[in-house]
Amino acid sequence: MGKYVYGPILSRRYGWSLGIDVMPKLKTCTFNCVYCELGKTSTKGYASLNFRVEMPPKFKEEFTEELQAKLVEHASYIRAITFGYNGEPTLNKNLDIILDITRKLRYEAGIEKVPITILTNSSTLGDPSVRKVLLNFDIVIAKLDGGTQEILQYVNRPHYSIPPFDGIVNNLCLLKKEMKTDTKLYIQTLLYKVNPPTSIKSNARGDNVVAIASAINKIQPDQVHVYSVAREPAEPSVIKVSKLELIELSDLMANNVDRSIDIYYFP
Ligand code: SF4
């Protein structure tokens, strides 16, 4: 793995995807999700809403060199370039510059149709400067695992500075309204169960997916993706839901929204 660019890795949704990590080596996130595959968020890496990561001097040259080399090797078969990995990428103060370089190099590699996507936990979208950068991605994939404040709290364990659930939903609505038609918003929901005895609570519940459906009706995203745990979670009692349960919960969600739901199940 390079300093900023990794892969290509086989992505669940896009096939071969080149990864861009704009976060420090220490996982830095406004959430501490019970299912996070990067482990628990440390006290130092647990970021407030206003915390921003600044890139080191000369990052433009280093990033350009790394991405150029990866594109020379892999441009012919990659299907996406995805920002995300070691935390919440919108906490990076220089995200706009990194995106500009990526768009330029994508053009030079002759693969303008390969989408540049970003994974966000949706917590920072109240900041107009964050939304402004996100509007220049091709696809924004935003997390929504709980349909109420209570569920958001126990699943994602947000930093206390993060807006409440209704505020997050309003910010997602705002982002969607600001997007031009060539930028897409996907909502992704991870559902998990737990192995008792544990104080951790499951979010794979009918009332939760109905509540998420209600938020989706407000946000009007372009797609909704439902999936479950695929790798070792931060909390050992967290386990994946079965394919059948995932289908049943997704069907329940779909019955309460005016769109289809895409299910991603990995045995
Ligand atoms: S938002 Fe993503 S990186 Fe942050 S704790 Fe949750 S799963 Fe991990």
121 lines ligand 1 (CB under 6 A): yes
Pick from 121, 122, 162, 190 the residue to mutate for probing ligand 1's pocket: most ligand atoms within 8 Å of its CB. 121
Calpha distance 192→31 (Å, rounded): 17
- Residue 161, by phi and psi: left (phi above 0), alpha (psi -120 to 50) or beta? alpha
Residue 267 pLDDT more than 80? no
CATH of the domain at 61: 3.20.20.70
The token pair that represents 257 in the structure block: 């929204």
Residue 122 lies in a domain: yes
Helix (H, G, I), strand (E, B) or coil at 13: coil
Residue 213 lies in a domain: no
Taking the centre of ligand 1 as the mean of its atom positions, its distance from the CA of residue 21, in whole angstroms, is 14
User: What number does the ligand 1 atom closest to the CA of 32 have?
Assistant: 5
Average pLDDT, the chain: 96
- Of 43, 9, 13, 32, nearest in space to 238 by CA: 32
Residue 12 pLDDT more than 80? no
41 lines ligand 1 (CB under 6 A): yes
Structural contact between residues 222 and 265, judged by C-beta atoms closer than 8 angstroms? no
Residue 201 lies in a domain: no
Specify the pTM: 0.97
Calpha distance 71→152 (Å, rounded): 38
Residue 118 lies in a domain: yes
User: What number does the ligand 1 atom closest to the CA of 190 have?
Assistant: 7
Residue 244 lies in a domain: no
Pick from 27, 36, 187 the residue to mutate for probing ligand 1's pocket: most ligand atoms within 8 Å of its CB. 36
Pick from 23, 29, 123 the residue to mutate for probing ligand 1's pocket: most ligand atoms within 8 Å of its CB. 29
- Of 108, 176, 114, 166, nearest in space to 142 by CA: 176
Determine the number of helices (DSSP H) and then strands (DSSP E) in the chain: 7, 9
Residue 243 lies in a domain: no
pLDDT of the residue at 1:
67
Q: For 99-118, what is each residue's pLDDT tens digit? A: 999 999 999 999 999 999 99
Q: How many domains does the chain have?
A: 1
With cut-offs at 50, 70 and 90, classify the pLDDT of residue 85.
Answer: confident
Q: For 24-44, what is each residue's pLDDT tens digit? A: 889 999 999 999 999 999 999
Residue 206 lies in a domain: no
What percent of the chain clears pLDDT 90, i.e. is strictly above it?
A: 91
Provide the greatest CA pair distance for the chain. Answer: 55
Residue 194 lies in a domain: no
Please calculate the CA angle 139-28-70 and round it to the nearest 5 degrees. Answer: 50
Taking the centre of ligand 1 as the mean of its atom positions, its distance from the CA of residue 11, in whole angstroms, is 17
pLDDT of the residue at 98:
97
Q: Residue 143: give the domain boundaries.
A: 5-187
